[in-house]
Amino acid sequence: MANIREVAKRAGVGVGTVSRALNNTGYVAEETRQKIIDAVNELEYTPNELAKQLFRNRNGIVGVMVPNLEHPFFAKMMRHIEMELSKHGYKCLACNTIGIVNRQQSFMDMLDRNMVDGIIACVDSLADFEGRKGRAIVSMDRNWGPDVPIVLSDHGQGGRLAAEAFLRDGCRKVVQFTAGRKSETTNLRHEVLAQILQENQCEVITIGTKWDALSYAYNKSIVLQYMDVIQEADGLMTNDIGAMSCLVVAQKMGIKVPDQLKIIGYDGTEITNLTYPELSVVVQDCGELARNCVDMVLDMIDGNEPQTMRKIVPVTWKQGGTT
Amino acid sequence: MANIREVAKRAGVGVGTVSRALNNTGYVAEETRQKIIDAVNELEYTPNELAKQLFRNRNGIVGVMVPNLEHPFFAKMMRHIEMELSKHGYKCLACNTIGIVNRQQSFMDMLDRNMVDGIIACVDSLADFEGRKGRAIVSMDRNWGPDVPIVLSDHGQGGRLAAEAFLRDGCRKVVQFTAGRKSETTNLRHEVLAQILQENQCEVITIGTKWDALSYAYNKSIVLQYMDVIQEADGLMTNDIGAMSCLVVAQKMGIKVPDQLKIIGYDGTEITNLTYPELSVVVQDCGELARNCVDMVLDMIDGNEPQTMRKIVPVTWKQGGTT
DNA sequence: ATGAAAGCGCTAACAG
DNA sequence: CTGTTAGCGCTTTCAT
């Protein structure tokens, strides 16, 4: 645990010279540099990042909040965000917000305490954003008001793609499960789906749930609870997990998919490859979402105003065997 | 961005007093305390954690390495580890190691640079552990040699539970896909399974793969590649994703599960609820694994020797519809 | 009970 | 080219 002063002493130079040599900043004679390198090796010196961080008032860490790290969609986002951050030399501090009171607030506080340089938040409520205008915060897929830039999928397009698939298959009565709060940006998919289907004389039943809790058991219980509604429908759309739950329950009850019921998953995470038939899905481009979140937050950390307050990323359709 | 000196000046006291008041350390008169609190509020002062961290030479962060944050098992571990760390006031720095060269090494370096107080590693190779004896490193499920304490599931028991299920169902020929390197602790499950089955006149075919890459596509391609072998078998065990891939492919080919083929998943992540029939699985207790990893690493951060170099956590059997 | 002062380990400005 | 010095913002003796 040698420090820079010991290295300097051993090399017979001043600490400033050591710092310059090690950081390649400013001039240092080749001979001197070599003496310093030797001293570093002999002492097994490694710079203390904590001291650098204090000096710079930065620590190169971005906090990433999601409701649940285990949820396939958020896990995927987290993977992409972490890799993208690492490309830029940043580290990723991960945080589950569900199930821990005040977790979100304490995470936001870390910005003030300089424990993170910025935050990417994929969570619902806007708790404690007040007074943090100008801080490096980017929201993923949730509207936190006019002061927080948001990166999100084109859910209007998502709703349209799903509607077109249902119409293509001649559906007359489609059920959709919505998640979380009304008036969320993410509910646009359901509004667009309903509008397009209704314009085409297809009935739409919209059922509100709180899937976001991501209890697989809860998902299934909801499906079971509404099974009578589903049985009378010929189409269904909800998030991946919900859709897969429906598929399983429908199969168990002898409903033929896709003959009697078309099912569309929203998100398109990898797990939708693991059913039979494979789920037809609207795919969110997590790589691109992550890239935009990271670019924006790093730009803000550098002190710039957000280039845009709203970045929309296209979604794609992936045909499976359930439509 | 007021600092402690400005607060002190405003309150008309010394910085030491402010520090003591804010941290409840040492005496401070009620009247003085109040003046300080007022100053804090007026200035909207928040302590700079970076400075505290330098002083303590700790930052309250534990690095957690996994191959892939998106893999259901590692995502589950990450969730549990993060929640467990947060219970103890620690933060979780997440890291994907797959697909980025030298990622693991640079993560290990962070220990030396004081960028993390400790590391929980769920990765294969032992790159760069050399010379770090005594550092706060805990390994999850991988043997990194005698100097690194390890927390792992009782894979012997896991193999036994699976074997018993196959025998109960009268299997005569069981295929198992092994993942990653030979001689891994995790391969014990396959050895025990093979031994028990063979003792009971049940043939065992062991096929080595590199599932760990966690490409769902790769999983499926492997299953397809060995489909002729699988078709002649009446039992199959591999990790959750592999097992689900098999289930899908088998169903697609008209193989009846579980009548013609019994399938057992190893890990027991939530996604195994999402097939029909639900997968029968050996469940790893990620909560308990996480608790032990965290307890050990925090203990080591406190400067203690590991209480044990090997902590084994029981697994459980969960009966699904595929056996 | 409190203020002054000495660091924590590093960087950067400044004078030579 | 290099050594010295003054901080970064905080905590903690140590007198008083």
Whether the CB of A52 is less than 7 Å away from nucleic strand C comes out as yes
Q: Do B94 and A95 touch (CB under 8 A)?
A: no
The reply to whether B133 and B35 lie within a common domain is no
Whether the CB of B27 is less than 7 Å away from nucleic strand C comes out as yes
Of B30, B55, B80, which marks where a domain is finished? Answer: B55
Q: How many angstroms away from the CA of B199 is the closest CA of chain A?
A: 34
- What confidence tens digit (pLDDT) does each residue in B10-50 have? 999 999 999 999 999 989 999 999 999 999 999 999 999 99
Whether the CB of A3 is less than 7 Å away from nucleic strand C comes out as yes
pTM of the entire predicted model: 0.95
B301 vs A210, residue with greater confidence = B301
Share of chain B above pLDDT 70, in %: 94
Nearest chain A residue to B214, by CA: A270
Name the protein residue, with chain letter, whose CA is nearest the C1' of D5.
A16
Residue A8 maps to a domain: yes
Question: Which of A51, A78, A113 minimises the CB distance to B94?
Answer: A78
Residue B161 maps to a domain: yes
Going by pLDDT thresholds of 50, 70 and 90, the confidence category of residue B9 is very high
> Cβ contacts of residue B178 below 8 Å, gap of 6+?
B187, B190, B206, B207, B208, B209, B238
Question: Which of B70, B92, B110 minimises the CB distance to A76?
Answer: B70
The reply to whether A230 and A172 lie within a common domain is yes
Name the protein residue, with chain letter, whose CA is nearest the C1' of C2.
B17
Residue B322 maps to a domain: no
> Cβ contacts of residue A207 below 8 Å, gap of 6+?
A175, A176, A177, A178, A226, A229
The reply to whether B86 and B232 lie within a common domain is no
The reply to whether A273 and A130 lie within a common domain is no
The reply to whether B199 and B255 lie within a common domain is yes
Distance measured from the CA of protein residue A8 to the C1' of nucleotide D13, in angstroms: 28
Going by pLDDT thresholds of 50, 70 and 90, the confidence category of residue B236 is very high
* Domains identified in chain A, total number: 3
- What confidence tens digit (pLDDT) does each residue in B80-132 have? 999 999 999 999 999 999 877 788 888 888 999 999 999 999 887 666 566 56
Residue B70 maps to a domain: yes
CA A258 to CA A236: how far, in whole Å? Answer: 11
CA A236 to CA B213: how far, in whole Å? Answer: 33
CATH assignment of the domain containing A200: 3.40.50.2300
Q: Do B79 and A70 touch (CB under 8 A)?
A: yes
**Could you tell me if B107 and B119 are in contact, meaning their C-beta atoms sit under 8 angstroms apart?**
yes
The reply to whether A22 and A47 lie within a common domain is yes
For A170, counting Cβ atoms within 10 Å of its Cβ (0-12 exposed, 13-18 middle, 19+ buried), the class is exposed
Mutate to test the interface with A, among B79, B112, B119 (most CBs of A within 10 A): B79
Nearest chain B residue to A254, by CA: B276
Nearest chain B residue to A57, by CA: B50
Q: Do A274 and B110 touch (CB under 8 A)?
A: no
Domain range for A245 is: 155-284
CA dihedral B269, B270, B273, B279 (to 10 degrees): 0
A252 vs B151, residue with greater confidence = B151
A253 vs B316, residue with greater confidence = B316
Question: Which of A110, A113, A275 minimises the CB distance to B274?
Answer: A275
Residue B180 maps to a domain: yes
* Strand C contact nucleotides, protein CB < 7 Å: 1-14
- What is the pLDDT of chain B when averaged over all its residues? 92
Name the protein residue, with chain letter, whose CA is nearest the C1' of C11.
A55
The reply to whether A181 and A230 lie within a common domain is yes
Residue B40 maps to a domain: yes
Nearest nucleotide by C1' position to the A2 CA atom: C9
Q: How many angstroms away from the CA of A227 is the closest CA of chain B?
A: 16
Residue (of B235, B264, B229, B260) closest to B172 by Cα position: B235
The reply to whether A280 and A292 lie within a common domain is no
CA A14 to CA A11: how far, in whole Å? Answer: 9
CA distances from A229 to A138, A217, A225, A241 (A): 39, 19, 9, 19
Q: Which residues of B146-169 are buried (b: 16+ CB within 10 A; e: fewer)?
A: eebbbbbbbbbbbbbbbbebbbee
pLDDT at A212: 60
Residues of chain A with pLDDT under 50: none
Give, in degrees to the nearest 5, the angle at Cα B247 between A214 and B264: 80
The reply to whether B163 and B94 lie within a common domain is no
Residue B319 maps to a domain: no
Across the beta sheet with B91-96, the strand order is A310-313, A150-153, A137-140, A118-121, A61-66, A91-96, B91-96, B61-66, B118-121, B137-140, B150-153, B310-313
Mutate to test the interface with A, among B128, B270, B289 (most CBs of A within 10 A): B270
Distance measured from the CA of protein residue A96 to the C1' of nucleotide D11, in angstroms: 32
The reply to whether A196 and A269 lie within a common domain is yes
Q: Do A275 and B110 touch (CB under 8 A)?
A: no
The reply to whether A243 and A199 lie within a common domain is yes
Of A34, A55, A76, which marks where a domain is finished? Answer: A55
The reply to whether A160 and A188 lie within a common domain is yes
- What confidence tens digit (pLDDT) does each residue in B181-203 have? 666 677 899 999 999 999 999 99
Whether the CB of A27 is less than 7 Å away from nucleic strand C comes out as no
Residue A318 maps to a domain: no
**Could you tell me if B163 and B197 are in contact, meaning their C-beta atoms sit under 8 angstroms apart?**
yes
